[in-house]
Amino acid sequence: MNTTKFFLLLILSFMIITITLGEQKVSDNNVVLLPSKNDPTVSFRIWFKVGSQNDPAGKEGLASITAQMLTDAATEKNSYEQVLEKLYPLAAGYNASSTVEMTVISGRTHKDNLGDYYPLFIDAILRPAFKQEDLERIKSQVLNQLENMLRYASDEELGKAVLYNDVFTGTPYGHITDGTIEAVKSITLDDIRQFYSAYYTKDNFVIGLGGGYDMNLLSNLKKDLGMLPTGTPKAVEKPAPKAINGLNVTIIDKDAPATAISMGFPIDILRGTKDWYALAIATSWLGEHRNSSSHLYQVIREARGLNYGDYAYIENFPNGGRYQLPPQNVCRRSQLFEIWIRPVPNETRHFAMRAALRELKKLVDNGMTQSEFDQTKKFLRNYVLHFGPTTMEKLAYALDDKFYGIKDEGHLNMFRKMMDELTLNDVNTAIKKHWQTSNMQIAVITKDAQSFKDALVNDSPSPITYKTPKPESVLEEDKEIIIFQLKVKAENVKIMPVTDLFVK
């Protein structure tokens, strides 16, 4: 999307109610309201247009740590202990979610407690104390995540992190939100203060407010956030990942009990456009997240029992192992088409990779059939009803709509409407236009990396044996999968020890 169009869409963007208030007013275009009279709670989501793409070189992780220094640390009025003490009886809290492009400070309270809650929430944003001891505590948590948890405790998340870092290397998306070990260690309170001054300005946020609030609260919120300094941060250019030639494989060599695989390539298509919804149908059929209707799931798990699940995506889905339904406020201007193969026995890694790529090739070459198309769009039309059931999540979707410039009805309504409008031809045309199988980035977490590299480069057959009998149709198909040509070139395979990851 070019800048002018993006700007126009932003001006026309979706708003449910707009109110003009006070002398230090916040532009109404920067307010999203979801009033719900019967809701006994009030939900806040304040979106600051900053994320890891704004991390200065050598300070990767700064956006995320700065956000945590607002919500998980002292304010000028209260020490962190006092903040926790005061929030405790309210059964309420607030937190920061910082992703590549967005940082959202969110919180929810029962209406009865709004008077006690609101001053704490607004103080966190306006008057952070930035104390050294809080910074040390937060840095230690981030370093534990980078040095230990991500490298060793979840090979699935590790695989995705490697894939995204590889695809976006050299761009502002080229590091994970948590940053790098050396950079995190180097972050000082001065870095935090500078970053806060630059990005937490009155010109750089959108208010999201929902539930059973009244107009006084909105008025106060606008007035209070209007006290932030002025300043429009310089826009970060949309990342342009370098072209991928052939199948590029990064093998992370570690003592892995099973092999996790993530693969994909950049796609230049975003939510809100017709082609996106067409691809959403194809993606759902190929690999609906955590759903046994996924075709990859049927081939790899259901028929062959190789793993726990196999899915496909056209939008980033962090922590997919933990959540059933898609996340909100993780928007990006540049997305990947992605396939996630959950850990398979090491001896079947080559076979599983071939099986997945073969299915993708079949889809790209032949398209979906009418019955697959009919069934999938029927599924999606109702399935999206489950997205965003709470006020907080609806508010988050409304902010996403602002990010993507989706006006009027919003993404979820548009999603349902498009299920009635799109044709099989639309879907198959979109597949041909946006998807291919020749140029992909692949991340593999496994052991004996060199022997896997050899097998890949030689396109060696990957015979498979099962402990249990399988139907003839499966065995026949296996004969094709075993020799399915991947044509990986030696110079496109990189082996790295896990300890080399996220260092700097």
Please state whether beta strands 440-446 and 247-253 pair in parallel, antiparallel, or not at all (unpaired): parallel
CB of 476 to other proteins, least distance (A): 16
Is there binding between residue 484 and other proteins (CB under 8 A)? no
CB of 477 to other proteins, least distance (A): 14
Per-residue three-class SS string for 351-387: HHHHHHHHHHHHHHHHCCCHHHHHHHHHHHHHHHHHC
Q: Tokens at residue 186, please?
A: 């180097």
- Which of 45, 301, 333, 354 touches other proteins (CB under 8 A)? 301
| Measured distance CA(222)–CA(226) in Å, rounded | 6
- Which of 55, 60, 155, 224 touches other proteins (CB under 8 A)? 155
- Interface positions, 239-298, toward other proteins (CB under 8 A): 254-258, 290-293
Q: Tokens at residue 21, please?
A: 């208030």
Q: Tokens at residue 77, please?
A: 């009025």
Residues whose CB falls within 8 Å of the CB of residue 436, separated by 6 or more in sequence, listed in order: 265, 364
- Phi first, then psi: give them for residue 335, nearest 5 degrees: -120, 165
Is there binding between residue 92 and other proteins (CB under 8 A)? yes
- Which of 127, 137, 274, 447 touches other proteins (CB under 8 A)? 137
Is there binding between residue 38 and other proteins (CB under 8 A)? yes
Stretch of residues binding other proteins (CB under 8 A), selected from 108-116, 233-241, 354-362, 407-415? 108-116
Residue from 73, 106, 107, 104 nearest 91 by CA:
107
- Do 281 and 378 contact (CB within 8 A), yes or no? no
- Which of 8, 16, 19, 84 touches other proteins (CB under 8 A)? 84
CB of 36 to other proteins, least distance (A): 10
Is there binding between residue 386 and other proteins (CB under 8 A)? yes
CB of 265 to other proteins, least distance (A): 25
CB of 413 to other proteins, least distance (A): 12
| Measured distance CA(84)–CA(286) in Å, rounded | 45
- Interface positions, 396-425, toward other proteins (CB under 8 A): none
Q: Tokens at residue 257, please?
A: 């009990």
- Interface positions, 457-476, toward other proteins (CB under 8 A): 466-471
- Which of 171, 186, 194, 375 touches other proteins (CB under 8 A)? 375
Query: CA 118 → CA 12, 92, 442, distances in Å?
Result: 30, 11, 47
